[in-house]
């Protein structure tokens, strides 16, 4: 999975106005994350689908067939299909700001945008192109064409699993943040540090969302302040105002 740069330690500015007003996430960052992440799960789905589809006698050729697809524009075609699905899906479900508020919106947009249909069309083109070039024989090309639904089902399952993993990851992140807040109230820096590390690790696995990044930045600012102050929990009025955002 692509590691997105949600590094909590990029900006330790404690000014409340910056925490509230900066655009923490852009549509371009979200689209880039989805393109990379979905590209990987689609690639894996193709592997699984080809191995399920091809008989044991030619299973060793699955990798060669995939390589032929890659050399003839599979990666670029998938990237285009993903971007097209995202853009169309946003229009279909009414996301006019350009940014997703949560993972469910991203999942719905990709489904509504016809990603699987785009992949289906791409496979048809690649099968015809590689067969015409003699890179795969006609019997194998017919076998893949006739069993294309098996490949698409594998790809679709992988995509759904990834979105469910992302949704579950957001829930886990919220749990870690709640745990951090409780340790903060208890003035238990050791517990705070454990949850802080979990927060950083989980953020790197997730598509950037405004709400999750904003909450994490507030935690990061306060955590860094207390750590750099010798784990002193005595806060100034301004610092306490920042802390109150966590309540």
Mean pLDDT over 65-93 rounds to 94
Mean pLDDT over 151-158 rounds to 95
pLDDT in tens, 172-201: 999 999 999 999 999 999 999 999 999 999
Closest Cα partner for 191 from 203, 183, 199? 183
Q: What is the pLDDT of residue 245?
A: 61
6-13 long-range Cβ contacts below 8 angstroms, 24+ apart: 6/203, 6/204, 6/206, 6/208, 6/213, 6/216, 7/200, 8/196, 8/199, 8/200, 8/203, 8/216, 8/217, 8/219, 8/220, 9/220, 9/224, 11/217, 12/220, 12/221, 12/224, 13/221
CB 144 within 8 A of CB 151: yes
Mean pLDDT over 121-147 rounds to 93
Q: What is the pLDDT of residue 218?
A: 86
pLDDT in tens, 203-239: 999 999 999 998 888 898 889 889 988 998 887 877 7
Mean pLDDT over 123-150 rounds to 93
Q: What is the pLDDT of residue 176?
A: 97
Look over the chain and give the mean of its residue pLDDT values, rounded to a whole number: 87
pLDDT in tens, 93-102: 999 888 999 9
What is the spatial distance between Cα 33 and Cα 162, in angstroms, rounded to a whole number? 12
What is the spatial distance between Cα 19 and Cα 16, in angstroms, rounded to a whole number? 5
Is residue 247 predicted with pLDDT exceeding 70? no
Buried b / exposed e along 30-52 (16+ C-beta atoms within 10 A)? bbbbbbebbbebbbebbbbbbee
What is the spatial distance between Cα 32 and Cα 25, in angstroms, rounded to a whole number? 12
pLDDT band at 57 (very low <50, low <70, confident <90, very high): low
Task: Tell me the HSE value of 173 on the side-chain side, using a 13 A CA sphere.
Answer: 25
pLDDT band at 85 (very low <50, low <70, confident <90, very high): very high
Each domain of the chain, given as residue ranges in start order, spans 27-164, 165-244
Q: What is the percent of the chain where pLDDT is above 70?
A: 87
pLDDT band at 15 (very low <50, low <70, confident <90, very high): very low
pLDDT band at 60 (very low <50, low <70, confident <90, very high): low
Query: pTM value?
Result: 0.82
Q: What is the pLDDT of residue 238?
A: 78
Q: What is the pLDDT of residue 163?
A: 97
CB 81 within 8 A of CB 118: yes
């Amino acid at each position: 999975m692509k590691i997105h740069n949600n590094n909590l330690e990029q900006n330790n500015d404690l000014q409340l106005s910056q925490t509230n007003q900066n655009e923490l996430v852009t549509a371009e960052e979200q689209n880039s994350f989805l393109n990379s992440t979905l590209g990987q799960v689609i690639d894996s789905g193709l592997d699984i689908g080809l191995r399920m589809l091809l008989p044991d006698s030619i299973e060793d050729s699955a990798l060669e067939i995939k390589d032929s697809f890659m050399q003839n524009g599979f990666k670029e075609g998938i990237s285009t299909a993903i971007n097209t699905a995202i853009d169309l899906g946003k229009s279909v479900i009414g996301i006019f700001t350009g940014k997703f508020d949560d993972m469910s919106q991203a999942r719905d947009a990709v489904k509504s945008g016809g990603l699987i249909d785009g992949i289906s069309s791409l496979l048809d083109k690649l099968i015809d192109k590689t067969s015409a070039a003699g890179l795969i024989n006609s019997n194998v090309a017919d076998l893949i064409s006739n069993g294309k639904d098996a490949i698409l089902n594998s790809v679709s399952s992988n995509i759904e699993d990834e979105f469910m993993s992302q949704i579950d990851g957001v829930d886990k992140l919220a749990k870690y943040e709640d745990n951090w807040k409780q340790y903060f109230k208890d003035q238990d820096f050791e517990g705070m540090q454990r949850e802080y590390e979990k927060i950083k690790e989980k953020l790197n696995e997730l598509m950037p969302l405004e709400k999750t990044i904003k909450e994490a930045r507030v935690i990061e600012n306060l955590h860094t302040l207390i750590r750099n102050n010798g784990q002193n929990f005595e806060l100034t009025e301004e610092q306490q105002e920042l802390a109150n955002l966590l309540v």
